[in-house]
Structure 1
Amino acid sequence: MINRIKISTGSPWEPIVGYSRAIRCGNVIEVAGTTAMKDGAVVGKDDAYAQTKYILEVIQAALEQLGSSMSDVVRTRMFVTDISRWEEIGKAHGEFFKEIRPVATMVEVKSLIEADLLVEIEAQAIVEE
């Protein structure tokens, strides 16, 4: 059995749904879909750039707790509620990943778990053991 190291953010949804913010199994780290929620409120309401930046900061913190960094990210998946705002989202993503350039997917979805959320991002990192 692979040893799993789990990171939790204390989100009220984690125990209800049964998930972790991030899990490290060996040299692979998976970060769950992350939104711009802090203490039950949306960060950057109606600001796709601000939401994306906040999300990537949360992802960065989770990776660091697991002994990794953004430079280890090999894939991101971005779920957005309005694809016409891709440049705002892409700008924030580029600020974190301009030199790293992981593979990335951005798709439009009908909605996210909270009406004011515009972006949700997943990440995968591979670290040296």
Structure 2
Amino acid sequence: MDFDRELISNGNPMESVVGFSRAVRVGPFISIGGTAPVGADGKTVGVGDIAAQTRQCIKVIKGALEQAGSGLHHVVRTRVILTDINNWKAAVDVRKTYFQNIRPVDTIMAVSGFVNPEWLVEFEADAVINT
């Protein structure tokens, strides 16, 4: 079985510099890589506010999923990546408002830092849709 590969972009100039896509759809599978809390203007949303940053990450993921013909309701896995594990509850409380009924599997982890020190969180998501 051979599937087409669709690259999803949100216009981030780093996509061509680094060589990545916001999301990739292959057949029914959609993978969304590390999504930072960045607005359309390229600036960090919610500096110092884990809840605002989490909402922005999910907003960007939602947009990428919709571009791929999907939506949050198709998400099967999320990864919450934090610079401070003590922020896990505040991030998960926001995540819950989007995924309470969908209930994808989840991983919560901490890293030493992101490329931009203003970022407190990044999200990743995987979805599967009917083709």
TM-score by length of 2: 0.95
Q: Following the alignment from structure 1 to structure 2, what is the Cα–Cα distance between the partners of residues 103 and 13?
A: 29
2:71 corresponds to = 69
Deviation (angstroms), 1:9: 1.2
- Residue of structure 2 equivalent to 1:29: 30
How far is 1:89 from its partner? 0.2
Per-residue CA deviation, residues 55-75 of structure 1 (Å, 9 max, x unaligned), is 101101110111111111000
Q: Give ranges in structure 1 of 5+ residues lacking alignment.
A: none
How many residue pairs get aligned? The number is 129
Whole-Å separation in 1 of the counterparts to 2:111 and 2:24 = 25
Shift of 1:33: 0.8
Alignment RMSD, CA only?
0.9
Instruction: Classify the secondary structure of the residue corresponding to 2:80.
Output: strand
Alignment TM-score, normalising by the size of structure 1:
0.96
Helix, strand or coil: the match of 1:42?
Answer: coil
Matched residue SS, 2:102: coil
Q: Identity, % of aligned pairs?
A: 42
**Unmatched 5+ residue regions in structure 2?**
none
Amino acid paired to 1:98: Q
Partner of 1:96: 98
- Measure, in 2, the Cα distance between the counterparts of 1:61 and 1:42: 17
Distance apart, 1:40 and its partner CA:
2.6
Encode CA deviations 1:19-59: one digit per residue, 9 max, x unaligned: 10011100000011100112231100000010001110110
Amino acid in the other structure paired with 1:43: V
AA at the equivalent of 2:97: E
Q: What amino acid maps onto 2:115 in structure 1?
A: I
**Runs of 4+ residues deviating >4 angstroms:** none
